[in-house]
Amino acid sequence: MKVAIFGGTGKTGQHLIQQALDAGHQVTALARTPSKLTLQHERLTIMQGDVQDAAKVNEAVKGVDAVISVLGSSPNNPELGVSRGTENIIAGMQKHGVRRLVVSAGAGIGDSNDKPTVIDTAIKTIIRLFSPKAYADMNRVSQVVHACNLDWTIVRVPMLTDDPKTGQVRIGYLGKGVGIRLARADMADFMLRQVGDNTYLRQAPVISN
Please report which confidence band the pLDDT of residue 127 belongs to, taking 50, 70 and 90 as the band edges: confident
The CA distance from 93 to 150, in Å, is 8
Q: Decide: 52 and 64 in contact? Cβ < 8 Å.
A: no
Please report which confidence band the pLDDT of residue 92 belongs to, taking 50, 70 and 90 as the band edges: very high
Indicate if the pLDDT at residue 153 is higher than 60.
yes
The average pLDDT across 148-161 equals 97
Q: Which amino acid is located at 195 in the chain?
A: V
pLDDT for 76 equals 56
pLDDT for 121 equals 78
Taking CA atoms, 31 is separated from 36, 37, 141, in Å, by 8, 8, 19
The average pLDDT across 75-84 equals 77
The CA distance from 126 to 174, in Å, is 16
Indicate if the pLDDT at residue 80 is higher than 90.
no
How much is the pTM?
0.94
Tell me the domain boundaries of the chain.
2-208
Please report which confidence band the pLDDT of residue 74 belongs to, taking 50, 70 and 90 as the band edges: low
Taking CA atoms, 104 is separated from 146, 181, 188, in Å, by 13, 15, 10
CATH: 3.40.50.720, 3.40.1190.10, 3.30.70.150, 3.40.50.800. Which one for 2-208? 3.40.50.720
Nearest 5°: the CA angle 182, 166, 24 is 105
- H/E stretch holding 26: strand 26-31
The CA distance from 188 to 104, in Å, is 10
Indicate if the pLDDT at residue 78 is higher than 70.
no
Please report which confidence band the pLDDT of residue 134 belongs to, taking 50, 70 and 90 as the band edges: confident
The average pLDDT across 32-46 equals 94
pLDDT for 130 equals 74
**Please, what sign has the CA dihedral across residues 122, 132, 88, 78?**
negative
pLDDT for 43 equals 97
Beta bridge partners, 206, equal 156, 172
Residues 175-207 have pLDDT tens digits of: 888 999 999 999 999 999 999 999 999 999 999
* Residue 177: exposure state from Cβ atoms within 10 A (0-12, 13-18, ≥19): exposed
Q: Decide: 42 and 58 in contact? Cβ < 8 Å.
A: no
